[in-house]
Amino acid sequence: MIAAPAGSAFEQAKQLFLDGLKAFNAQRYEEAEFHFRSSLALLPGRVSTLINLAATLIKRVKPQEALEAADQVLAVEPDNAEAWFHKANALSQLGQHQEALAGFEKVLAAGTLPAAEPWFCHGQTLQALDQPQQALVSYQRALAANPKMAQAWSNRGGILREMQRNEEAAEAFRQALAHGADADLHRFYLASVSAQPLPPTAPANYVETLFDDYADDFDAHLVDVLGYRAHNTLVGHLAAIRGGPYRSTLDLGCGTGLCAPLLKPMTQRLVGVDLSSLMLEKARALNLYDELVHADIVAHLLQTQERHDLVASADVFIYVGDLDPVFAALERAMEPGGIFCFSAESASSERPDFELLPSLRYAHSERYLRTLAERRGFDVLHLVRSPIREDQRTSIPGMYVYLKRR
């Protein structure tokens, strides 16, 4: 037999495949995709390369292309469990959760892959289908196969927290922490369901991810489903106190811009700042803001050279427990005599300054807000108690606070 030359297409394809695996394992997914595609150009239809390309495309959030790669494998090997696994993940990314669930169940029935990851994905899909009880069972199966799976512990804790099974949720979050889950995030989760020290704010990556994911459906869900009214109430009472005109207004934590149509008639200049870039895209589409800034609210207040005579913040401080840094930064970002108005959820008692609720929202006491205003050079003009939104058909009590900078 004559050996194939060293530079043959097979050897080149093999080397490209190995380079792709190396890049994938190093989490260089763009590079891995390039190598796998280059390998397939030399050896089309090779099953192992297609499977790894599908896995890479899932990592790159290219579900339609991943689906095509997996289907090429299934056309020749209909029972290939790896291909079914990647196909199910692609269907999940495409929002086809019922079809994805069937795919994961096919993988689990085959029993040829390690069980932890398929059971975990099965649980995620059940959560997406609003079946939390069944998802708990899937996560438990994943953890039986791999007790060190931090994300399964975390997801399990999240479901238990929403079910108000706080002790079980706390244990799940402790296990997630013990197995390497994000420390700041899971201490925040843990503090919401146990007597742990309260973090001063929600982690920035939690808030940013939450609202980036929420951006497309935010207005409809918040206003129509949760009965959100903080923007209307906040600006409505402001108009009664001092309706303008203002020279420069800062919409602090502007989100998608729900306050903008209400604030714009009152002010010559309207600036919005928010941590979520996708929320800011929605706000920009309104064409009501003179400027939009992607930043943490305290960082922006400390860096901006502008001075505002009105700062409004609707439903933002539910993600900030310790408000002193915000008030301190406002001292330099506001003109003397300027108005600062905001909403806050009401704490269950006046004893704590603030508390972190199992809903993962902060609530503040009136005593704390008044003390903080006095200490930071603000006079209280008005404080109104009124609901902010509904949660499971229960009104969430809130405060609308109007301060004047001395």
Q: What does the pLDDT read at residue 244?
A: 82
In this prediction, residue 7 carries a pLDDT of: 60
**Domains with residue ranges and CATH for the chain:** 9-113 (1.25.40.10), 209-405 (3.40.50.150)
pLDDT at 228: 72
pLDDT given at position 222: 66
84 neighbors 109 (Cβ within 8 angstroms): no
Cα–Cα distance for residue pair 298/300, rounded to 1 Å: 5
Report the pLDDT value the prediction gives residue 166, as an integer from 0 to 100.
96
Place of tokens 């300027």: 338
Average pLDDT of the chain is 93
β-pairing, 308-313 vs 246-252, is parallel
Q: How buried is 7 (Cβ within 10 angstroms: 0-12 exposed, 13-18 middle, 19+ buried)?
A: exposed
Q: How many CB atoms lie within 10 A of CB 128?
A: 15
Low-confidence ranges of the chain (pLDDT < 50): 1-6
pLDDT of residue 1: 37
Q: What are phi and psi of 277, to 5 degrees?
A: -65, -35
Q: Which of 241, 237, 228, 239 is nearest to 265 (CA)?
A: 239
* pLDDT per residue as tens digits for the range 223-245: 655 667 888 999 999 988 988 89
- pLDDT tens profile 23-63: 999 999 999 999 999 999 999 999 999 999 999 999 999 99
